[in-house]
């Protein structure tokens, strides 16, 4: 257990990077005062631990394996990217497979392992999606929106935090269910007409799953889902910032329209993350990884192999924004989206002691969760 930092460059909300000290007590930030603590080299920065609210797998393991061991392997792999919290994300598969995956997530949350990144809850991506914009999801398992089936999912995993769904597929009752349960309703894999989506936003849709990807397109006669979510300040937008799913100019447009508070970096990564190129699996389908992209045999993008620290760096490089502003997209913003901004996503007293120690290029030198070092870069003895 660390006791804090001594005279480090710390990301203090509203102030930027400040040379200050910080104390940790019982896994939480106690104050910005400390007589003892880790001495961080002056070229490194202490930022909040990153949060990935949309991730399918890593290092050869997939959430849909339905095994606690797979979740633990994913959790243990993420701290090297600066991630301290994540939402294991399901896929459109048969009902029993989804129930098994959700039940396993629930069991792992109850077990509360101390190693690796913390599981915040599940992100249900499908099966309530549009066949027209299914992306890499399995079409034969797609279902029309159903609040009764959603309740079955919720009963085995009451920690579901976010649901990606196609509102146009009879989604009104499902939306009401999600709002009543405090689950984030996110439009995605959807062909929803503009006016209908405006109705859904008025009733509670508050997020857009991987903006631009797998959604009704923008035209000058129909602004589609893209246009509606860009214009509506109530909606936050997830973004896969690998430069493959969304080109830098489109990223710049999203950032300009939504502002620094409404863009959420996600990886949407699959089991091939951190591994060499080759053939892998996602949602029961073969995926081929080459040149940094993961695709089905027909060329459809199938998740990513993006790391969160690379996503943060890409935002700096693509947009020319500061490290502070780029980090916010992977910390404070997802915490707010998940209504967890009272305890994670910022470095403030009484918040969880979750930190990533990075350089200006967002290389990760250490990752700390609840005051415990869960990753340290080799050959850096200053961590003690």
Q: What tokens were used for 267?
A: 């990886």
318 vs 288: CA distance, rounded Å: 26
Q: Give me the active site residues, please.
A: 268
Nearest CA to 172 among 196, 152, 139? Answer: 196
Contact (Cβ atoms closer than 8 angstroms) between residue 176 and residue 203 = yes
313 vs 9: CA distance, rounded Å: 18
Residues in the chain: 384
Tell me how crowded residue 180 is: count the other CB atoms within 10 A of its CB. Answer: 10
41 vs 279: CA distance, rounded Å: 41
DSSP letters, 336-381, are HHTT-TTTSSS--TTSB--EEEE-TT--EEEEEETTEEEEE-TT-G
Nearest CA to 113 among 164, 72, 69? Answer: 72
């Amino acid at each position: 257990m660390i006791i804090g930092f001594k005279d480090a460059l710390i990301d203090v909300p509203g102030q930027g990077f400040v040379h200050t000290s910080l104390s940790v007590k019982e896994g939480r930030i106690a104050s910005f005062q400390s007589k003892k603590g880790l001495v961080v080299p002056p070229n490194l920065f202490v930022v909040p631990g990153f949060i990935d609210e949309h991730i399918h797998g890593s290092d050869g393991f997939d959430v849909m394996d339905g095994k606690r061991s797979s979740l633990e392997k994913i959790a243990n792999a993420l701290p090297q990217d600066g991630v301290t919290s994540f939402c294991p994300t399901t896929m459109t598969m048969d009902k029993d497979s989804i129930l098994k995956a959700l039940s396993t997530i629930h069991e792992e949350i109850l077990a509360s392992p101390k190693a690796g990144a913390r599981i915040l809850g599940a992100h249900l991506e499908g099966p309530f999606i549009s066949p027209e914009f299914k992306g890499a999801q399995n079409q034969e398992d797609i279902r029309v929106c159903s609040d009764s089936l959603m309740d079955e999912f919720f009963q085995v995993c009451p920690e579901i935090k976010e649901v990606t769904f196609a509102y146009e597929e009879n989604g009104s009752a499902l939306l009401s269910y999600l709002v009543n349960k405090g689950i984030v309703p996110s439009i995605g894999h959807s062909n929803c007409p503009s006016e209908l989506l405006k109705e859904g936003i008025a009733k509670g849709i508050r997020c857009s799953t991987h903006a631009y990807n797998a959604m009704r397109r923008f035209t000058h006669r129909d602004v589609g889902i893209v246009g509606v979510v860009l214009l509506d300040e109530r909606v936050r937008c997830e973004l896969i910032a690998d430069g493959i799913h969304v080109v830098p100019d489109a990223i710049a447009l999203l950032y300009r329209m939504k502002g620094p508070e409404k863009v959420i970096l996600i990886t949407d990564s699959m089991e091939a993350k951190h591994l060499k190129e080759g053939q892998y699996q996602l949602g029961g389908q073969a995926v081929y990884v080459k040149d940094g992209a993961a695709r089905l045999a027909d060329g459809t993008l199938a998740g990513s192999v993006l790391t969160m620290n690379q996503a943060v760096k890409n935002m700096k490089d693509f947009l020319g924004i500061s490290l502070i502003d780029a980090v916010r997209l992977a910390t404070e913003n997802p915490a707010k989206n998940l209504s967890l901004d009272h305890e994670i996503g910022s470095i403030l007293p009484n918040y969880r002691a979750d930190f990533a120690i990075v350089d200006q290029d967002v290389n990760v030198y250490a990752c700390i969760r609840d005051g415990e070092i869960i990753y340290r870069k080799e050959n850096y003895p200053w961590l003690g």
